[in-house]
Amino acid sequence: MSAAVLIRPKGLARVEAMLRRLNKAQSQEVLEGIGEIVVSQTVLRIESEGPGPNNEVWPALSDSYADWKKGVSSGGLLQLEGNLLGTIWKDATGDEVVVGSSLEYAALHQFGGDTGRGKVKARPYLGLGPEDEDEVEQVVNDWLMDVMGFGL
């Protein structure tokens, strides 16, 4: 046998107002905030040469590529001309946010692969790491407080 009590917020003016604001609120704002965190962490990761979002250290460049690169660039592991840094984008729609780069070689850096001239080791730079969870949680909490009217 079970027991239940039906509670309706009718008559609880403050609760009703909070629920109306929450129903009207669009998650777009909070997704944009989460996307900004991922973009900034991605840029920081590239500039500081890792580690990846999983906290794994990126493998070093091959000796031959490192030697060639010394003559043409002073950029880090994923930087030759700085193009990757300038192409990190976010798209927050519906109930998700996607962060990426439109550069053809962006996936090669993320997942590794064969270029036809040699193999490139994966150096994952996209994603959220465990240390980013607190920052994302704070963005969501701030958004909820604002939507519920507690941030005024």
pLDDT digits (tens, 9 = 90+) for 66-81: 787 777 766 776 776 6
Taking alpha carbons only, the member of 86, 128, 129 closest to residue 106 is 86
Number of domains the chain contains: 1
For residue 6, being part of any structural domain is answered with no
Within a domain: residue 3? no
In a domain, 15, yes or no: no
What does pTM read for this prediction?
0.75
- Banded pLDDT at 65 (limits 50, 70, 90): confident
In a domain, 10, yes or no: no
In a domain, 88, yes or no: yes
In a domain, 33, yes or no: yes
Q: Closest Cα to residue 22, out of 133, 118, 144, 112?
A: 144
